[in-house]
Structure 1
Amino acid sequence: MSENALRPSPISPTVDFDADGVQHGFLRLPYSRDDSAWGSVMIPLTVIRNGKGPVALLTGGNHGDEYEGPIALFDLARSLKAEDVSGTVIIVPAMNYPAFLAGTRTSPIDKGNLNRSFPGRPDSTVTQKIADYFQRDLLPRADVVLDFHSGGRTLDFLPFCAAHILPDKDQEGRAFELVKAFSAPYSMKMLEIDAVGMYDTAAEEMGKVFITTELGGGGTATAKSAGIAKRGVINVLRHAGIVTGSAEVTPTTWLDMPDGNCFSFAEEDGLIEPVFDLGEEVGEGAIVARIYPTGRTGAAPREIRAKMGGILCARHFPGLVKAGDCVVVIAVVVS
Structure 2
Amino acid sequence: MSEQHLRASPISATVDFEADGVQHGFLRLPYSRDDSAWGSVMIPITVVKNGEGPTALLTGGNHGDEYEGPIALFDLARTLDLAEVRGRVIIVPAMNYPAFQAETRTSPIDKGNLNRSFPGRPDGTVTQKIADYFQRVLLPLADIVLDFHSGGKTLDFLPFCAAHILPDKAQEAKAFEFVKAFGAPYSMKMLEIDAVGMYDTAAEEMGKVFVTTELGGGGSATARTAAIAKRGVANVLRHAGIIQGEIEAEPTTWLDMPSGDCFAFAEDGGLIEFLVDLGEAVERGTVLARIYPVGRTGVKPFEVRSKMKGLLTARHYPGLIKPGDCCAVVAVPV
TM-score after normalising by structure 1? 0.99
- Structure 2 SS opposite 1:241: coil
Q: Does 1:152 align with 2:152?
A: yes
Q: Does 1:195 align with 2:201?
A: no
Letter in 2 for 1:237: L
Distance 2:223 2:6 in 1: 46
Per the alignment, residue 285 of structure 1 pairs with 285
Letter in 1 for 2:5: A
- Structure 2 SS opposite 1:174: helix
Q: Does 1:227 align with 2:231?
A: no
Please list, as runs of the form range in 1=range in 2, the aligned pairs for 1:173-184 lying within 5 A after superposition.
173-184=173-184
Please list, as runs of the form range in 1=range in 2, the aligned pairs for 1:1-335 lying within 5 A after superposition.
1-334=1-334
Offset of residue 4 of structure 1 = 1.8
Offset of residue 5 of structure 1 = 1.6
- Structure 2 SS opposite 1:234: helix
- Structure 2 SS opposite 1:156: strand
Distance 1:304 1:249 in 2: 37
Distance 2:315 2:189 in 1: 18
For the aligned residue pairs, the C-alpha RMSD in angstroms reads 0.4
Distance 2:4 2:81 in 1: 37
Offset of residue 3 of structure 1 = 1.0
Deviations 1:271-305 (A, max 9, x none): 10101000000010110010010000000000111
Deviations 1:78-126 (A, max 9, x none): 0001111000000000000000000000000000000000000000100
Distance 2:119 2:163 in 1: 20
Letter in 2 for 1:13: A
Distance 1:174 1:47 in 2: 24
TM-score after normalising by structure 2? 1.00
Distance 2:52 2:113 in 1: 34
Offset of residue 268 of structure 1 = 1.4
Note the residue ranges of structure 2 that are not aligned, 5 or more in a row.
Answer: none
- Structure 2 SS opposite 1:152: coil
Distance 1:4 1:329 in 2: 39
- Structure 2 SS opposite 1:226: helix
Letter in 2 for 1:177: E
- Structure 1 SS opposite 2:227: helix
Deviations 1:39-59 (A, max 9, x none): 000000000000111000000
- Structure 2 SS opposite 1:232: helix
Distance 2:7 2:239 in 1: 37
Note the residue ranges of structure 1 that are not aligned, 5 or more in a row.
Answer: none
Letter in 2 for 1:243: I
Letter in 2 for 1:293: P
- Structure 2 SS opposite 1:119: coil
Letter in 1 for 2:296: R
Across the two proteins, how many residue pairs are aligned to each other?
Answer: 334
Deviations 1:213-241 (A, max 9, x none): 00000000000000000000000000000
Distance 1:235 1:47 in 2: 18
- Structure 2 SS opposite 1:100: helix
Offset of residue 244 of structure 1 = 1.3
Offset of residue 246 of structure 1 = 1.6
- Structure 2 SS opposite 1:48: strand
- Structure 1 SS opposite 2:24: strand
Runs of 4+ in 1 over 6 A off after TM superposition: none
